[in-house]
Amino acid sequence: MQTAINGMLRIATGSLLGATFISFFVGVIILIILILITQRRLEFPLYDIQKNRIPIWVYMGGIFGIFIVSGNILLLPVPGSVLTTMVFLLGQKIMALAIDQFEIFNLQKRKIDSRRIAALVLTTIGIIFVKFL
């Protein structure tokens, strides 16, 4: 749904980056309101609980978000909403497997097993069905 709505926002604004900005801006406003309601203060710590510095790469999620939202807006008109979403999910699954397998970001290792491979295969088959059948 987000991809389709952002695609319409791009058409309305005539700008890929403008649509991406508006999407993030509205999200930030809502998040600020939710943080104020739930935490009663707006705080962005640069230190973790043990008072160690948080690595700078932790803040890269926002940058990746820009590429993901912009990419989805850009690609939506070509393959359509279903295929765009399925390809995005396949990419997410592949990266998740790599992160789990190689303990990227210091997360607990989770081996690639037959269930995880089956999830990739089924997603790929779904993409083939949507695209060609």
Question: Could you report the per-residue pLDDT of 22-53, keeping only the tens digit for each?
Answer: 999 999 999 999 999 999 888 776 666 566 77
Could you list the residue range(s) of the whole structural domain that residue 68 is in?
Answer: 2-132
**Mean pLDDT confidence for 60-73:** 92
For residue 44, CA distances in Å to 22, 48, 65, 85 come to 22, 11, 19, 31
Residue type, 94: I
| Number of domains the chain contains | 1
Name the pTM for this structure.
Answer: 0.78
For residue 54, CA distances in Å to 39, 41, 48, 57, 62 come to 21, 20, 6, 8, 15
Whether the Cβ atoms of residue 8 and residue 16 lie closer than 8 Å to each other: no
What pLDDT does residue 56 have?
75
